Structure formats: C-alpha cells, structure tokens
Amino acid sequence: MNEEGFLYERISRRLLEQIGAGSYAVGQKLPSVRHLSRLFQVSVNTVMQSYRQLEAEGYLEIRPQSGAYVRHCDVHDVPEPDGSRYPLLPVEVSLSEEVLHYMELHVMPHQVRLGIALPGVEVMPVERVTQTIREVARHYPQETWDYMHPHGFPQFTHHLARRSLSYDVPVVPDDIIVTGGAMEGLSLALRSVSRPGDAVAVESPTYYGTLLLLKTHQRRVVEIPTHPRHGISLSALERVFAERGVSACIVSANAQNPLGFTMSLERKQALSALARRYQIPLIENDVWGDTVYEEGALPVKAFDDDGWVLYCNSFSKTLMPGLRIGWAAPGRFQRRFLELKQLSTITSTSLSQIVMGRLLESGFYAQHIRDLRGTLQRQVEATAREVRAAFPPGTRLTRPTGGCVLWVRLPGRVNAVALFEKAAREGIHVFPGGVFSLDNKHSDYLRLNAGGPVTGAVVEALRWLGRATSELAGGCVME
Amino acid sequence: MNEEGFLYERISRRLLEQIGAGSYAVGQKLPSVRHLSRLFQVSVNTVMQSYRQLEAEGYLEIRPQSGAYVRHCDVHDVPEPDGSRYPLLPVEVSLSEEVLHYMELHVMPHQVRLGIALPGVEVMPVERVTQTIREVARHYPQETWDYMHPHGFPQFTHHLARRSLSYDVPVVPDDIIVTGGAMEGLSLALRSVSRPGDAVAVESPTYYGTLLLLKTHQRRVVEIPTHPRHGISLSALERVFAERGVSACIVSANAQNPLGFTMSLERKQALSALARRYQIPLIENDVWGDTVYEEGALPVKAFDDDGWVLYCNSFSKTLMPGLRIGWAAPGRFQRRFLELKQLSTITSTSLSQIVMGRLLESGFYAQHIRDLRGTLQRQVEATAREVRAAFPPGTRLTRPTGGCVLWVRLPGRVNAVALFEKAAREGIHVFPGGVFSLDNKHSDYLRLNAGGPVTGAVVEALRWLGRATSELAGGCVME
C-alpha cells in the first residue's frame, strides 16, 4: 500500500479539492464516470467506488440515469492531519491523569452535558430495561446471586456470537469473555499482548482514556496520523509495523471517538491484513460500532482469519452505562486474557449479563439500536447547525458517520482548556481536545457531545460557547 | 519486637505445649494467674491476656471465682510454620495461572461445592435482596442508568464510612472508592504503590489470587511465615521492612483465607505501626472481616493514623458475589488509586451500589451478618467434626475464628492435587493447598469450604475424601 492510499480515495480527494475550491457549486453536475475513468486511467468500478464514498459522506447525490450532483461543499471540515507532526517514533505519554477530573463534571447536578461522549438518558428505553431488571431479579435469583462463569451467561454470549453471522470470520461463544465494560476489555487486551516499556500504535486523535491507559501501564505511544473521514493512515502504520516499532495497535474503525469516521470495508480488510502479515496484535475498540448511522457496519474483527484482532465492545454507549457490561473476543490471546480477567475482577456482574441476554433474545436491543441510530444522527446534525450558526468564522467541524460527538476546531488558536474552564463555571460541561493526542496537536479543538435532545438549554449553551470562543480569540478569528 | 513475639503469646505457647503433651487433661485446672505471673516474671495482666487468648481460641474456659480449666487439647492443630523454609528473600511467583481453572468447577452443575471459599446460597437472604433489586430498579431508574460518580453512590459510601465509627482512625466518605469486588481493589492498590520488578511481602499461606495477581503484574514475592492462629510473623516482617526488601505488604487480619485466624488487637496495632515506621504501604484484604464469629473485629485500618493502609473489602463473601461490588479506602494513595480505577473499569455497577446502600441504611445487612456469623461457625464446626471422623489418623486441621474454610493437612505427604483430581471425577470440588504458597510448602494441604449446610451429600463427600486420602497415603498415615 503506498503513501497515497487506495486509488478511489485519491480520486475522491481530487474531486473534493475542486469542490472545496468552488470549481463545482452545490447542485452542479460532476464529470461522468466514463470521463473520469479515462482521465485517471482507472476502471469504471474504481470511479464508482469514489462516487459512492463521496455520497456516503454527504458531499454528492447520485441520481439514477442522470449522474452525480454536488450536494454539499462545506469548507468547515476539520483539516487533514499534518504529516510533519508525526515522526512515527515512540514517546512517553505526556498527559496527566488530571484529565480524568474533566470527566467528573458529568455526574454533577445542573450541568448542560456536552462533555462525556454518551447518548442522553432522555433518548433511552429506561422503562423497558428497568422492567427487565425487575423480571430477572424475580425469575433468576440463583443465577444473579453467585459468581458467573468467567465465559459469561450462555444466553448472553450466544446472542453476542450470533451478531457476527455476517462476518467473514464469525465469532463463536467460546471466543467470548464478558468484561465490566469496554474499558476493562481494553486494559486486559493491552496487558495480554504487551509489557511495560513496549510501544503501542494509536490513532491521533484518539480517546483520551486509551492514552492514559497506556501511560498507567508504562507503555510508550506511536501516534499514527488519522484522517477525519478515512481513519488511521495505513501506510504510516505499515511503516511502523515493518520496522517492528510497536508490539500492538489500538484502533476504532466505526464511528471513531472523537472524529466520528467509519472506515471503509476495504480499509478494514487492509488493516486486518496488516496485523496478520506483520503478526502484530490489533486491539479493536468497537464501543461505537452499533451507532454507525448506516446499518450493518462491520468491525475489523469481521476479517480476522488468524486471530490477531482483540475485539472489545460494551453496552455503555448504546444502552446503559450503569450496567457496566461489555465483552471481548481476544482471538489467539484468549487464554491469557481470561487469566488476567479472573485476576482483575474475577467475573462480571451476573444480573447485567442476564438482563442483556434477555434484551438480545427478544430482539428488543436490535430494534432499539435501529431507533437510536436515527435519533443520534438527527441530534448530531441539529447540533452541528447550531455550532455553525453560533461559533465565530473559521470554526471547523467533523461530519460524523455515527456516534454522538462533534470534533470542533476553534479559530484563532483558542486554547480549549481555557474554554472548558470558563464553561464549567457556567454549568456547561465540554471536553477540551488537547487530551486526545500528545504534544498539543489538538489544543485548539473541542469535543461536543450531541447525545441528548437539542433543547433550549443546549442551544443557549452552544450560543454561550460561541460567544466565549469569540472573546478568547480576540480579533483573530480569521483562517 | 523480638523473634518471640509478644510476651503473652510466649506464655500461651508454653501452656499449649504442656496441654498438647498431656500435662493438663481436659477438665483439669491450670495454674493460677498469680502463680504464672511469678513464674514468668510478668504482670498479672499479661497472664490474663494469655488466658483470654487461649479462651478465645477454645482451649480453655475461665470460670469466675474459680480459675482456668482445659476445655480442648486437640493435637490435630496444623503445625506452626517452619522458619527454615522462609529465607525472606524475593522470588518470582512460580505458580501457573492454570490454577484459575481449579475455580471453574464451582460453576459446573452437580458439584458438591467444597472448593471455592464462599457461604452457600442456601444460607443467604436471596428473597430479600432480589426484592431490593426490584425496588431499586423501580424507584431509581435514572441513577441506575448512568455512570456512577467514581467515589460511588453517596447513600452507599456514607453508610460504609459509618461502619468505622469505633476505629481509632475512622474512615470518612471521601476516603472511599467503590470497586467491582475486592479483587479489583487489591489489583488497583498494588498498582498504586508498586511497579513491575518490585517485591511485595505476603502471608504464607495466602489466598492464591494474591500470588497470581503479583505474578501477572510482574512483582516478586517475599513470603512471610504466618502462624495458623496468630497471623503473620511481625518480627520476620520487620526484618524485611528494615532491609527495604519490599515496596508493599498484602495482609488479611480477620478470618484469614486459608488459615482462618484473626489477629489480636495488639498485633493489628503493631502491624499498622510497622507500616508507618518504615513507611511501607500495607494492602489490607478484609473480605472476611464481617464473618469473624466474635462480634466487632477491627481491621488494621482502624489504627491507620498516617494513611499507609490501603483497605479493600467487598460484599462477595458476606452477601452476594454476583453484585460484584466492593470498596477501598486507600489512605494516602487515594488519588492514584482513583485514577487507576477510572482507567480500569471507569466506575462500578450503579444498581449494585444503590442496592447495598439501601440494605445498609435499613439495618438489614447488620442483622444479616449477625445471623451469618453464627451459621458459618456452626457449619465449620460440624464440618470439622466430620473431617476428624472421616480422615485418616495424622490429619490435622485449623480451628477458624471466622469465615467458612478449613485448612487441612493430609497425612503421609499425600499430594492434594492428586486428591483434587480424583475428587473432581466424583463431582466433589475441593481446593489443593499447594497454590496458597510457593515451593510446595503446602502441597499436602487441602482447603475445604464449609459455607453450605452439612447435608447428607456433604457428609458423603467428606467420607469419600477421607477414604481417598487413605488410599493415596497407602500405609503411611502415621505422623
């Protein structure tokens, strides 16, 4: 794989450059597939792939029997990563665990909750799930009482396995280990495949919890530049793999936090193939996988035919964080993972496993995430509109393909920690972007949670944040 | 503190030697306090302390206005540790994580459950607790839904703190961090105070989970000889502390697993003072604390006036393991502990915290453990009687002061793993003793759980075990 990525992506990039530069305005027709195929010396299929990608990303609309039309030419998109800031060498994690205290506002009363990445309880089926908890407590007193088998409650793990029916390489119940949320899964996976002093590759930006996890386990980090729409740079990752520079890689391929991208199938396959070719374990955090707006997103694990992917997921983002229930499919590292699990928390909460088993069995969970995806997409789009209206010129933001966060670059190099602190005093909880990477690469970014309905209070808060950003930027709000 | 321990303990030991040797038979009167005071050149109080200790251990009975009478002269007691096997130097943990699979029989159907140390569900208030779960699910839907604050549900942690009212140094709610059981607490405590390569002092024998935990975190171990009735050797520990040979120590002072001793108040105070004097963190696993048969047992934490004790506990042994809920009071290491907790499992199950909060608030838990203590003591004594009757001569066993396990030395150097395997094929789950220490110090020991009622099936299983032990021992069943 060369530095330029896939052929169709190169074509997409060129088209986007032209659209962004105004060569094709909204509503105008793009060149025909046949024309571009000749121009780029590629097959018609490759051009079609590029057009389909741009359609999925919302840039154009393909009208049957007619052609491709520009639908969107948003120059507010966050910039692509600056390769010069990525030396691809291991460094110590310079973040302080202090950032964990940024989380605490979330559980304080009277906050506008734009901080933690989480769907709001308002959009969740609280009544149905608590009803199920009551039923399970009534009908399974013995099973909820004792330690659960470390492999988990069979009705639960069997349904988890069935969800992988469409994978190239399905997961079977015996592959699965139940964890106390995805964070425990990541921690155990990391410890299963690496030792203190080792280096681990991560997306940049990535979930701050991943960086802190690496720090507390004395792992060094190689940051891999990550495209806001396509995901981790496979060419940069391959370079690092080829040099044996890391002992593992942690990725999110679906609705990544904070960027909101979903990797294409081809990229997911290629990523799985890289892990296999270089025999380097891939820890996949798929905690947002079920929230990808387009149905049926597959994880990298779907292509893991040699067991190099340690898959981690939970129900904290898609259903109920308080259940503290997740699961892992650690591939060839399953035995080691299980041992570490037993020595960390022995087994996971029995009641939560039985409750999830029933919600999966009845089909309720599947229906719920279909609804949730639509709800989150509407909320994210509404929040993005408010941000565009409320924040000063020069503000740029992502267009997520799943999940419920927006990644916002503030104009005029505004320090997002200053904004965080100002906002906290107003009862508004946001998350500063600097903690999602090292060396201040994203200190002028902000992550906004759009997990709740866009109420009047949320609109007010976004307007307040826009004004505060203007003030912090002084006059310097030009690009 | 010298090698001999406390003065009163020396006197107790001398008296026991005489009783064991038959100098005083059951029912006979021991020398008067005044006589011994002159003989040993110690105060009357010291002799009284020795008599009270022997009374608490069941050896004698003090009749007011009359004197002390021998009640018990059991030469079946397990032997004291052999100092020559304890070089007090750090070693790698040689146990294999394979031993975790010894645990798995516990969750298999149709087992006689003498393996895992755990009160049986038959003696537990299942109906009342599952009723509370249903009420909490009904009345606290929002609170059970979301991530809980890492410090825990206030109603829960406030009641935990109130339980320390009688401590010299009480615990306050802000000291507490809620964990997913005590095992998570131990793991986080260990990581809060030590690094890979460090050595940690442990009791020998100790809970095998502790040894494996140290192994998976690449800590070496210094085994400290531990007396079956008095607990860890303070003089040996002091020698190790003084030589700066360890960076922490893990202990259980109450109803220790597997020995069943409860340290005296003086020893607990002295242990706390050692930690403070040498500034070496003490990780206290008090998971059996509430099961000490005599009411009001204090932990070492009760004397921790300088924050060197990291206290860990849970409700897995005293109420419901499936809740996966515990707590820690990590003293001066609280900040670091909290950070590690957030990066391990973020927070603990919300529902479990609210349920325990209500059971503490209503006084139900306090009443329950009063009942449970009596039940466990009766079951342990009944099981011990069966063991004495069923096992071949030369078998020796502990007389626990709390908890529900018996620690049994098999005669004739029988290999307990062989017995474990033979028993497993019969559907009888026991735990081989070799995994509770290193270098085969206890490979001829067996741990028996007496957590359930002594049913016909249990009696049958014990008789089977006795016969199997005789067979394995061949002719060599003499002492």
In the predicted model, what is the mean pLDDT of residues A351-365?
96
Q: What is the DSSP string of A177-225?
A: EEESSHHHHHHHHHHHH--TT-EEEEEES--HHHHHHHHHTT-EEEEEE
Judged against a pLDDT cut of 80, whether residue A75 lies above it is answered with no
Contacts of B193 in chain A (CB under 8 A): none
A121/B146 Cβ within 8 A: yes
Contacts of A150 in chain B (CB under 8 A): 104
For residue A140, the distance in angstroms to the closest alpha carbon of chain B comes to: 9
Band (pLDDT 50/70/90 cuts) for residue A1 is very low
- Identify residue A297 by its one-letter amino acid code: A
The pLDDT of residue B479 is 40
For residue A253, the distance in angstroms to the closest alpha carbon of chain B comes to: 21
Angle at A360 between CA A356 and CA A366, to 5 degrees: 125
Q: What is the DSSP string of A389-418?
A: HHSPTT-EE---SBSSEEEEEPGGG--HHH
The whole-angstrom separation of Cα B277 and Cα B309 is 12
Q: Is the dihedral of CA A408, A413, A417, A418 positive or negative?
A: negative
The whole-angstrom separation of Cα A223 and Cα A233 is 10
The torsion angles phi and psi of B99, rounded to 5 degrees, stand at -65, -20
Which residues, other chains included, contact A129 with Cβ-Cβ below 8 Å and sequence gap of 6+?
A319, A320, A355, A359, B145
Name the closest residue on chain A to residue B353, using Cα atoms. A322
Name the closest residue on chain B to residue A343, using Cα atoms. B213
Contacts of A117 in chain B (CB under 8 A): none
The contacts found for B158-161 with CB under 8 angstroms, 24 or more apart, are B159/B357, B159/B360, B159/B361, B160/B327, B160/B360
Band (pLDDT 50/70/90 cuts) for residue A477 is very low
A349/B107 Cβ within 8 A: no
Which residues, other chains included, contact A423 with Cβ-Cβ below 8 Å and sequence gap of 6+?
A429, A430, A461, A464, A465, A468
For residue B182, the distance in angstroms to the closest alpha carbon of chain A comes to: 8
The whole-angstrom separation of Cα A174 and Cα A157 is 8
Q: Are A143 and A352 in contact (CB under 8 A)?
A: no
The pLDDT of residue B3 is 43
Which residues, other chains included, contact A13 with Cβ-Cβ below 8 Å and sequence gap of 6+?
none
Contacts of B333 in chain A (CB under 8 A): none
Contacts of B312 in chain A (CB under 8 A): none
Residues above pLDDT 70, as percent of chain A = 97
Nearest-CB residue to B147 (from A107, A180, A213): A107
The whole-angstrom separation of Cα A126 and Cα B282 is 43
Interface test with A, best of B323, B351, B449 (most A CBs within 10 A): B351
The whole-angstrom separation of Cα B393 and Cα B207 is 27
Contacts of A97 in chain B (CB under 8 A): 339, 343
Name the closest residue on chain A to residue B98, using Cα atoms. A339
B149/A339 Cβ within 8 A: no
Name the closest residue on chain A to residue B134, using Cα atoms. A134
The whole-angstrom separation of Cα B262 and Cα B249 is 17
The pLDDT of residue B342 is 87
- How far separated are the first and last CA of chain A, in Å rounded? 34
The whole-angstrom separation of Cα A46 and Cα A392 is 39
Contacts of B131 in chain A (CB under 8 A): 137
Helix/strand/coil for B52: helix
In the predicted model, what is the mean pLDDT of residues A342-368?
92
Interface test with B, best of A195, A314, A325, A351 (most B CBs within 10 A): A351
A124/B145 Cβ within 8 A: yes
Could you tell me which of A122, A156, A163, A447 has the C-alpha nearest to residue A295? A163
Q: Is the ipTM of this complex over 0.90?
A: no
A322/B345 Cβ within 8 A: no
Which residues, other chains included, contact A166 with Cβ-Cβ below 8 Å and sequence gap of 6+?
A296, A298, A302
Interface test with A, best of B335, B342, B353 (most A CBs within 10 A): B342
For residue A298, the distance in angstroms to the closest alpha carbon of chain B comes to: 25
B145/A320 Cβ within 8 A: yes
The pLDDT of residue A351 is 93
For residue B150, the distance in angstroms to the closest alpha carbon of chain A comes to: 8
- Identify residue B302 by its one-letter amino acid code: A
Q: What is the pLDDT of residues A269-313, one digit of tens each?
A: 999 999 999 999 999 999 999 999 999 899 999 999 999 999 999
A350/B322 Cβ within 8 A: yes
Residue pointed to by tokens 């009374």: B55
Judged against a pLDDT cut of 90, whether residue A465 lies above it is answered with yes
The whole-angstrom separation of Cα A461 and Cα A112 is 7
Contacts of B347 in chain A (CB under 8 A): 324
Judged against a pLDDT cut of 70, whether residue A478 lies above it is answered with no
Q: For residues A373 and B39, which has the higher predicted lDDT (pLDDT)?
A: A373
Q: Are B298 and B286 in contact (CB under 8 A)?
A: no
User: Measured between alpha carbons, how far is residue B110 from residues B106, B119, B161, B425 in Å?
Assistant: 10, 17, 40, 11
B103/A349 Cβ within 8 A: no
Contacts of B138 in chain A (CB under 8 A): 130, 134
Name the closest residue on chain B to residue A336, using Cα atoms. B97
User: Measured between alpha carbons, how far is residue B375 from residues A293, B112, B122, B133, B429 in Å?
Assistant: 56, 19, 11, 24, 21
Q: Are B261 and B231 in contact (CB under 8 A)?
A: yes
Interface test with B, best of A131, A342, A350 (most B CBs within 10 A): A342
CA B64 to chain centre: 32
Q: Are A271 and A300 in contact (CB under 8 A)?
A: yes
A430 DSSP 8-state letter: -
The whole-angstrom separation of Cα B431 and Cα B417 is 8
Q: Are B195 and B186 in contact (CB under 8 A)?
A: no
Which residues, other chains included, contact A377 with Cβ-Cβ below 8 Å and sequence gap of 6+?
A293
Contacts of A111 in chain B (CB under 8 A): none
Helix/strand/coil for A419: helix
Nearest-CB residue to A349 (from B107, B148, B352): B352
For residue B310, the distance in angstroms to the closest alpha carbon of chain A comes to: 17
Contacts of A183 in chain B (CB under 8 A): 343-346
The pLDDT of residue A149 is 80
Nearest-CB residue to A324 (from B212, B322, B345): B345
Q: Per the structure block, which two tokens stand in for B356?
A: 């325990």
Residue A343 burial by CB count (10 A; 0-12/13-18/19+): exposed, middle or buried? buried
For residue B163, the distance in angstroms to the closest alpha carbon of chain A comes to: 24
B146/A107 Cβ within 8 A: yes
Q: Count other C-beta atoms under 10 Å from residue A100's C-beta.
A: 21
The whole-angstrom separation of Cα A173 and Cα A54 is 37
For residue A349, the distance in angstroms to the closest alpha carbon of chain B comes to: 5
The pLDDT of residue A2 is 42
Q: Are B317 and B276 in contact (CB under 8 A)?
A: no
The pLDDT of residue B74 is 64
Which residues, other chains included, contact B475 with Cβ-Cβ below 8 Å and sequence gap of 6+?
none
A146/B322 Cβ within 8 A: yes
Which is it for strands A220-227 and A199-204: parallel, antiparallel or unpaired? parallel
Nearest-CB residue to A180 (from B143, B191, B345): B345
Domains parsed from chain B with CATH numbers? 7-70 (1.10.10.10), 83-122+367-473 (3.90.1150.10), 126-363 (3.40.640.10)
The H or E element containing residue A103 is helix A100-104
- Identify residue A184 by its one-letter amino acid code: E
Flag residues of chain B having pLDDT under 70.
1-5, 21, 73-76, 475-479
For residue A53, the distance in angstroms to the closest alpha carbon of chain B comes to: 36
For residue B296, the distance in angstroms to the closest alpha carbon of chain A comes to: 27
Which is it for strands B248-251 and A220-227: parallel, antiparallel or unpaired? unpaired
Could you tell me which of A307, A301, A309 has the C-alpha nearest to residue A248? A309
Nearest-CB residue to B212 (from A180, A321, A343): A343
Residues above pLDDT 90, as percent of chain A = 71
The whole-angstrom separation of Cα A309 and Cα B349 is 28
Could you tell me which of B383, B438, B389 has the C-alpha nearest to residue B407? B383
Judged against a pLDDT cut of 90, whether residue A331 lies above it is answered with yes
